[in-house]
Amino acid sequence: MFNKPTWPIKATWPILALVAGIGLGACKILPTPSAQGGAGDASGFNPDKMVGEIWASKVIPYLHEKAGPFAEVHALAKTDQTAAGTKYGNPKKQANSPWTFAVRVEGKIVAANTQSRAATMDIDVDGDGKADARVQIGPAVRGTALRDSLDFVQFNDFTNQIDFAQFGKAFNAYADKTALSKLPREALEGRAAKVLGAYTIEGGQDLPLVTPAEAEIGPKP
Alpha carbons 212 and 196: distance in angstroms, whole number: 6
For residues 70-98, b (16+ Cβ closer than 10 Å) or e, as one string? bbebbebbeeeeeebbebbbbeebeeeee
Alpha carbons 100 and 149: distance in angstroms, whole number: 5
Half-sphere exposure of 59 (CA within 13 A, CB side): 25
Angle at 166 between CA 162 and CA 167, to 5 degrees: 115
Q: What is the tally of helices (H) and strands (E) in the chain?
A: 7, 6
As its CATH architecture, domain 44-217 has Beta Barrel (2.40)
Helix ranges, 67-216 (H) = 70-79, 81-88, 145-148, 161-178
| pLDDT in the model for residue 41 | 58
Regions of the chain short of the pLDDT cut 50: 1-40
Q: Hey, is 34 helix, strand or coil?
A: coil
Confidence (pTM): 0.80
| pLDDT in the model for residue 97 | 87
Alpha carbons 105 and 210: distance in angstroms, whole number: 9
Helix (H) or strand (E) holding 193: strand 192-200
Half-sphere exposure of 200 (CA within 13 A, CB side): 17
